[in-house]
Structure formats: structure tokens, C-alpha cells
Amino acid sequence: MKPKFVIIILLTVLALIIAFQNQEIVTFHIFFWTISMSRILMMVGFLLIGFLVGLLVSKRSKI
């Protein structure tokens, strides 16, 4: 098997393990909103927000 394929399989298995271990519902409060969702969705959401903020900051600093 190709090394790239093995890495993709390992990362997929790791992502599935993390997802299955973080299924409990968490509640957090932002200003006057109360949001309840599964922990994995929260982690992915914050990861995407952090990625977008980092992307915007890096583009802005190049100007």
C-alpha cells in the first residue's frame, strides 16, 4: 500500500475514535445565548472559526 493511503486511513480512524468519545451534550453560554450541542460539533466549529480567524489575520498582515 502507498504511504499516503495508510496515513489517510490512520487519520480517519483517529478522527472516528475522537468523535465517538466526544458525543455527550455540552451547554455553553455566550452573552445572552445558551447553546447545547454535542462536544465534537463544538470542537469542529471552534476549529473552523480559529482557522478562519488565522487565515484573515495572515492575509491582513500581508497588505
pLDDT at 18: 84
Instruction: Spell out a b/e string for 25-55, using b for 16 or more CB atoms within 10 Å of the CB, else e.
Output: eeeeeeeeeeeeeeebebeeeeeeeeeeeee
Model pLDDT for residues 10-63, shown as the tens digit of each residue: 988 988 888 888 888 989 888 888 989 888 888 888 888 998 998 888 877 665
pLDDT at residue 43 in the model: 84
User: What's the pLDDT score for residue 62?
Assistant: 64
Domain boundaries, the chain: 3-62
